[in-house]
Structure 1
């Protein structure tokens, strides 16, 4: 029986899709991709006879209808999502529709924009004695955020904070962090279109990054990272310390 494959297509760079993702695309006769965010170069892995749909101009009902018809014809379907399907991908409602229809599906993970951003910044997000927690969130907008996950609640804790879909509200985020006792000089960064050829990196602090964002004209497609891990030089893991005993080293 034909199957649907939700594939994490990576953050932008067409080489940041997994080998499994590429091999799966090659065996799918129908491909639906998030056209506004997934590199068209990834479509070069499609078969010459594949039917290709850009979901940027489709609603959920249309996506499911295309999927249903393809599976009924015995055609495997590749559903390409930007980054990793588990993070801000609208994956859940698609799976629920497929469950209702009795259509089988698999999920193939991908590289999310957060990790592409950390690579661009040349930064480890979890530094010993500085930060061992990474929080992924977004500020409330048209999409609501649970009350116990508001920025006010998150800022009450330590760690490294990564905000998707929130670059245009950085001033509000920074103001909340400062009011919650964070040092105004806490490092912060904005990475625009991480891993794309037009990637841009803005570095600053809770105090001055907002002005840099405004001057840049960036108002979407950027990820915000806040935390002392961004400036954590000199913090070293014990993993490869010659004087630290291990059961095994990776």
Structure 2
């Protein structure tokens, strides 16, 4: 059996209970290199074979899974955050289907959740933003033309931008081209929930400079939008003058 397990966004105690239990039972663990906190590997049992996939190809990972399955071993593919976001797991799952190898996915705490927690912010605020766009800049790996940064920025909603910290000058230009003003709030969260976490709230205009001054060029999320400003309307959910299925309005 193969389990794709979300390792969480950094801190070892942010893995799910299910994920930790499976790690303790695993015969083989294939983890996603420096993106996964090495402290998680301490949950493994004596004799567990541990592999760093950073230097491996898809084919090598799959061969290891196939070999382990033939030996009746339980294999954990340990991905950073939640594997459904930039985890490249679909191509692995499709191949396991062809090999008739059973597998399951165990979700994890994504870094976009960890970043909001680090900043003590909520992405979806009444009359500010009810939509979160999760995306990344085009680099060596392209993005569909219909998902260009300036087109997504034109929605003027909350944005969470992965894998783009080394492209901040270009990102700034595209965000401004999309319609954001230079003083739109923006944040950089480096290694959310790790011991060496760093976080800065700034503006789109100042993003590249803040990153440069703090020597941040990778392993960070960029957050953009007015949800960072602290101004919003009260939620209707807990408003005493608002009725819903479980409560009648009292005002």
Normalised by the size of structure 2, how large is the TM-score? 0.95
Output the CA distance in 2 between the equivalents of 1:141 and 1:182.
22
| Structure 1 residues 173-201: Cα deviation after superposition (integer angstroms, max 9, x where no partner) | 22222233322111000101111000001
2:22 corresponds to 1:39: no
Which residue is equivalent to 1:62?
Answer: 60
2:129 maps to 131
1:13 and 1:189 mapped to 2: Cα distance?
A: 20
Q: Which moved more, 1:226-235 or 1:67-76?
A: 226-235
Asked if the contact 1:139/1:166 (under 8 Å) is kept, the reply is yes
Aligned equivalents of 1:207, 1:52: Cα separation in 2: 44
Counterpart for residue 53 of structure 1: 51
CA distance in 2 between counterparts of 1:217 and 1:109 reads 31
User: Aligned with 1:15: secondary structure?
Assistant: helix
Question: 2:81 matched to which residue of 1?
Answer: 83
Q: Structure 1 unaligned segments of length 5 or more: list them.
A: none
**Partner of residue 238, structure 1:** 236
For 2:222, the equivalent position in structure 1 comes to: 224
Quote how far apart the aligned CAs of 1:172 are.
1.7
In structure 2, the partner of 1:108 is 106
1:179 aligns with 2:177: yes
Give the match for residue 72 of structure 1.
70
Contact 1:203 1:209 in 2 (8 A): no
Of residues 228-237 and 87-96 in structure 1, the stretch that sits farther from structure 2 once superposed is 228-237
RMSD: 1.2
Q: How many angstroms apart in 2 are the aligned matches of 1:100 and 1:156?
A: 41
With the length of structure 1 as denominator, give the TM-score of the two structures: 0.95
Matched residue, 1:6? 4
Shift in Å, 1:148: 0.1
Query: Does the 8 Å contact 2:125/2:232 carry over to 1?
Result: no
1:156 is matched with: 154
